[in-house]
Every structure is written in C-alpha cells, then in structure tokens.
Amino acid sequence: MQAIILAAGMGKRLGEYTKENTKCMVPVNGVPLIDRTLRQLGELNLNRIVVVTGYEGQKLKDYIESHHKGTKIEYVNNPIYDKTNNIFSLALAKDKLAEDDSLLIESDLIFEDGIFETLAKHPFPNLALVAKYESWMDGTMVKIDGENNIVNFITKDAFNYKESGQYYKTANTYKFSREFAASKYVPFLEAYCKAVGNNEYYENVLRVITFLDSHDLKALSITGKKWYEIDDKQDLDIAEALFAEEKDVIRKYYGRYGGFWRFPGMLDYCYLVNPYFGESKIIDEMEANFRTLAGQYPSGMKVNTLLASKCWGIREDWILPGNGAAELIKALMEQLPGTLGIIRPTFEEYPNRRRPESLVTFVPKNSDYRYTADDLIDFFSKNHADSVLLINPDNPSGNFIPFNNLLRLADWAESAGTRLVVDESFVDFSAGYRDNTLLRNDILEKFPHLVVMKSISKSYGVPGIRLGILCSSDEELIRNIKKSVSIWNINSFAEFFMQIYNKYEKDYLRACDKFIATRDELEKELRQVKFLRVMPSEANYFLCEILPPFTANGLVLAMLKKYNILMRDCSDKKGLDGKQYMRIAVRSKEDNARLIKALQTLAKDC
C-alpha cells in the first residue's frame, strides 16, 4: 500500500500563515501538518508516499527531505497549481495511483492517531472517511445506505438544510484498491478532465461513479473521533484547541469564551443559560423571520427602550437595553465614582472594569461562602464603599439573599447614601422566583440609589442574540449611560425577541419551573459522587469542592478527553481559599444524565 498526499494548493484563506509556505507547513501547536501526517503514515509500513506539490513546492520538498530522512517519498509537481484545482493534481499522479492500493489524503487535514491505521486495515478495499454532518463543516457531503454504501455525493449547490440530518461530510481521505483505481477511477478521471476541465474537484469523479448504481465505495465513519480540516484562520484556531497538549488544553478552550457549537458533540458545562425556554415556539417564530431580520437594520435606542419597557413592565425612562449585560456592566462601572464594594468570589466582569485600589472586598468566612444581608450591612458599615455590588444569586457560590432581606439591604444603602447595584441575572432560577425580582417600578421608585442589572441571555437561554437590561429610577444615571452606548446597540434579533416575547411569557414561566425541578434532581445526583462536595445553590450552577484523588484541573481534563464534556475550574478565582473548586452548570435532564454517568464512571475507576 502507498499514500498519495495532495499538497499543491495555495491556501489563500490562511492569509499570512501561507504567504511563503504551502498549507501543510502551517503548524498546529508548533507541529507542521505535514510532520504529523508523515509520522502517522510512517507507522503503516507503506511501500511509498507520493506528495503532489505545487505552491512553494521546492521549499516543501527541501523541508521533507531534511526532516524525514529514511522515508521513501516521491514527488509529482503541479506547475499550474494557481490555475487548476485538486482534480488536476491527482490526474498528474494517476499512473502512480493505479500501481498500488492507495490512501488518498489532502494535506490540510489533522487527525487523531490511529485513524489512518484503521482505514488501511479495514477489510473493505474502497473506503471514504466520513463524519456525521455538523454545522461547522463545509464542502462535499454524502448520503449512505444501511450497509454503509455511498449512494450520492451532495455538492454545495445541491445542499439542502432540511435534509442535513441525513448527510455525512467527507473527511477528504480515501482508500482505493489498485483494481478500483486502474479499472474505474483513473479512466473516469481522464474522461472527466477532458469533458469538464481541470478546475474541478476529484470527488466529482466519485460522484459520477455513484450515479452508475455502483456500490464500489463504502463509508467509514469517524464520527466522535478528533479531526479537522484547516482552510482558514478560524479552522486553525479550533484545531489548536482540539489537539492542544494537556498543559495547554484548558487555556485554549477557556480563552474562546463560547462558540463551542464548533466542537462536535461537546457538552458545555461552563456557560450558564436556561436550558428549557428554547423549547418554546418563540425560537420557531424567530427562525421564520430570520431572512427579514438579517437583512434589516434594527431600530434605534428609543424604540428598543420602549420594547424593553413593555417586556419587563418598567417605565421607559428607567430602563436601558444593552448588547448583553456585558455592555451595560462596562458602561455602569465607568459611571460610578469612588469605591466599589464587592463580595468574593464573584463574577469578575464588574471588578475587572475598576481600578484594584478602588475595590472594598468582603469575603465570607465559611467553607460554603454563605452570607446574609446582615453580614453585608455590618461589613460595609465598617468599611465604607460609595457603591456596593451584589450578584443575587451569586456567581459562583450560588448564595441567595431572600427578597425581604434584600429590601432591608436596600434600606440600609439608601440611608447610608450608598448606591446598591444588584445583578439578578440568575434570580429566575431561585425557588419562588416570581416574587424575588427587584424589577418593579414601586421598588425602583422607593430606592433611587438602586440599580438592577439582568442578563436576558442567561435567564432566557438566548446568549446568541446578546441582550441585557439595566434599570434605575435615577434618570440622570440612565441618561448618561445611554449617551455612552451606540444608538444601534441592539441587533435585529434581540429587538424582535423583545417584540414578540410577551406572547410566550407563560412558556418562560413553565421553563423556569421545569428548570428548578431539574436542578433539584441534579443536586441529589451530584451529592452521590464521592469526590464532590456540593454547595447549595439557587442559581443554574453548583460550586463544588473537588476532593482527592482528583484536582479540579485533572477532572476538567479527564471529562474533556474521555467524555467530550467541558467543565469550569474555579480554583484560581479570587476569594476562594486555595482548595480545589469547580462550577458545574445545570443543563437539560438528558445532558445531566450524560454528565452524571461520566462522573460516576470516573468515581468507580479512582
């Protein structure tokens, strides 16, 4: 058996990474793609490796010959790589393709170890590596039958999103027997090039062969295996996270701050959203209007303020919608003078927007990080702060100050001339949530120094549309913050969400009730995991101390590598006591079952 590597392309979409190098010379975590591929192929005892070069071909050849001495490599050059596509590159190597059983590989791919060996040793002679279609995938798709025969190649023009659940993406890697290559593929390749030209793709030839009702080519699924096709800078960034060394993997994932839908099958237990409101038809209505919303400007601040007022029942001049709570946090922190009282551990987005010397910090002196309104009144009466921030329920501790005690805290702040900022992004996850909110005109009017922040992304499970609200009866503060944000700070999708939300308000309440039941069930199950000490929570997450033999870092790595579940190590959060901690989000019952099964399996093995 031999391997043929197509490496003639220019890789323009990788920009500066391929300015003076072909794509296969691009490093992933410091290792060029070609080095990884040749190392993996070197374990197969192949008769030879044929590399089809083109762009920067001599540089690639020199590199391979200096770094892979002893490997039997032959070269075929495509001199018109900039005027042709990969069908011409393969046509230049057609005689070699017909001489032996072959692995055909494109050079911009990265695979986990063992995949080439599985392909080479599989008993069926002609195979295409495929993976179940995911939203990040681009290029040629196939349909397969119950016996794994490829029955159709789906081109980009023929792609139908309504049928995408039936599609598999080709991983641009094939095994052809010498007989199939010589008697079928190469003759069809020659005919296709003559009829259509050289600026095409070699997979089009396979598409023609499948039209003949031939079952020569079967699919070998690598769904669930690690692989990626690197066409552009975003692909490279994702591949570096997927294939990061153990010491770097957590940093690579955490540094993305979301976008985890690009990682096939991953369960994200870091980010905190309502898992059930998405079942409402509100999402269907938004989807039905997608083209209109994508093609239209959103309204300005005046209209969106009116919509926010309608949704949450707050006077127009007391409410401000934002591009997620993050935009409003930044704007608010820039408006507040003097010192800011905070409770740690906490959501660091607020203190990160302040100078460290302006912070007055309260840390609960107990192992569960619990505190009350009285604790805060006592501390900040003795340690003055011009403003005091309370996340309620708190993040990551899940601590919750009940409504009546919260009013006592607001009374104290008002009498002390202290501005109280309450972030109640998670309050709708608390027991009795309908009576726990401060988003009421009578409360805002009674406490003019009170500011209430709410992340709609978290509570309503729509982080992708970026929406948050800030409320206060301090009209001057609201006016000043409005001046600091863009007139078009809300996109059309967030505006439309507010436009239609009230039709689905009952769905939201049902989603919150369903969530609380799910959280209570998950808490019981987490408490059965022997290496977790679970702290009570009124939010949609649990702060857990990680007990031996695990560390939080070790547990994150084990869950990611073995079960494709991403979790949040909180051990380095300011205000924690130096022990090992993890924050575990609450997802749907089905996802939570997968999480618990993985944790219990690890518990049995340790």
Instruction: Answer yes or no: is pLDDT of 413 > 90.
Output: yes
User: Which tens digits make up the pLDDT trace of 414-464?
Assistant: 999 999 999 999 999 999 999 999 999 999 999 999 999 999 988 899 989
| pLDDT number for residue 266 | 84
| pLDDT number for residue 213 | 67
| pLDDT number for residue 545 | 97
Distance CA 281, CA 508 (A): 11
| pLDDT number for residue 254 | 77
Distances (CA, A) of 222 to 116, 132, 168, 225: 11, 8, 10, 5
Helix axes 589-605, 505-526, angle to 10 degrees: 10
CB 144 within 8 A of CB 130: yes
User: Which tens digits make up the pLDDT trace of 123-172?
Assistant: 999 999 999 998 778 888 999 999 999 988 888 888 888 888 899 999 99
Domain with residues 246-276+508-605, CATH architecture:
Alpha-Beta Complex (3.90)
Q: Name, in order, each residue with C-beta under 8 angstroms of 380's C-beta and a sequence gap of 6 or more.
A: 341, 360, 362, 388, 416, 418
| pLDDT number for residue 60 | 95
CB 439 within 8 A of CB 313: yes
Count Cβ atoms below 10 Å from residue 94 Cβ, excluding itself: 19
Instruction: Answer yes or no: is pLDDT of 301 > 70.
Output: yes
Instruction: Answer yes or no: is pLDDT of 246 > 80.
Output: no
| pLDDT number for residue 491 | 94
Instruction: Answer yes or no: is pLDDT of 255 > 80.
Output: no
Q: What percent of the chain has pLDDT over 70?
A: 99
Handedness of CA 432, 463, 593, 573 (dihedral sign): negative
Distance CA 328, CA 332 (A): 6
Average pLDDT rounded to a whole number, residues 365-373: 96
Q: Can you name the CATH fold of 278-506?
A: Aspartate Aminotransferase; domain 2 (3.40.640)
What burial class does residue 214 get, using C-beta atoms within 10 Å of its C-beta: 0-12 exposed, 13-18 middle, 19+ buried?
Answer: middle
CB 258 within 8 A of CB 271: yes
Structure tokens at 177: 């027997």
Give CA angle at 193 (189, 195), nearest 5°. 115
Instruction: Answer yes or no: is pLDDT of 101 > 80.
Output: yes
Distance CA 2, CA 580 (A): 50
Instruction: Answer yes or no: is pLDDT of 257 > 80.
Output: no
Residue 29's pLDDT band (cuts 50, 70, 90): very high
User: Which tens digits make up the pLDDT trace of 173-225?
Assistant: 999 999 999 999 999 999 999 999 888 889 989 988 888 867 789 999 999 88
User: Which tens digits make up the pLDDT trace of 514-569?
Assistant: 999 999 999 999 999 999 999 999 999 999 999 999 999 999 999 988 999 999 99
Q: What percent of the chain has pLDDT over 90?
A: 80
Among 519, 491, 498, CA closest to 456: 498
What burial class does residue 278 get, using C-beta atoms within 10 Å of its C-beta: 0-12 exposed, 13-18 middle, 19+ buried?
Answer: middle
Q: Dmax over Cα atoms in the chain, in whole Å?
A: 90
| pLDDT number for residue 33 | 96
User: Which tens digits make up the pLDDT trace of 327-360?
Assistant: 999 999 999 999 999 999 999 999 999 999 999 9
Instruction: Give the mean pLDDT of the chain.
Output: 93
Average pLDDT rounded to a whole number, residues 353-378: 97
Domain boundaries, the chain: 2-240, 246-276+508-605, 278-506
Average pLDDT rounded to a whole number, residues 359-388: 97
Average pLDDT rounded to a whole number, residues 32-52: 96
**Same topology for domains 2-240 and 278-506, yes or no?**
no
| pLDDT number for residue 431 | 95
CA dihedral 132, 137, 143, 145 (to 10 degrees): -10
CB 392 within 8 A of CB 400: yes
User: Which tens digits make up the pLDDT trace of 260-300?
Assistant: 777 777 899 988 889 999 899 999 999 999 999 999 999 99
CB 339 within 8 A of CB 360: yes
Among 316, 304, 365, 331, CA closest to 493: 304
Token match 């099958």: residue? 265
What burial class does residue 256 get, using C-beta atoms within 10 Å of its C-beta: 0-12 exposed, 13-18 middle, 19+ buried?
Answer: middle
With b for 16 or more beta-carbon neighbours within 10 A and e for fewer, the 185-198 pattern comes to: bbebbeebbeeeeb
Distances (CA, A) of 368 to 248, 371, 400, 583: 30, 9, 12, 13
| pLDDT number for residue 258 | 74
DSSP string covering 151-209, please? Answer: EEEE-TTT--GGGGGG-EEEEEEEEE-HHHIIIIIHHHHHHHHHHH-SSS-THHHHHHH
* CATH number of the 2-240 domain: 3.90.550.10
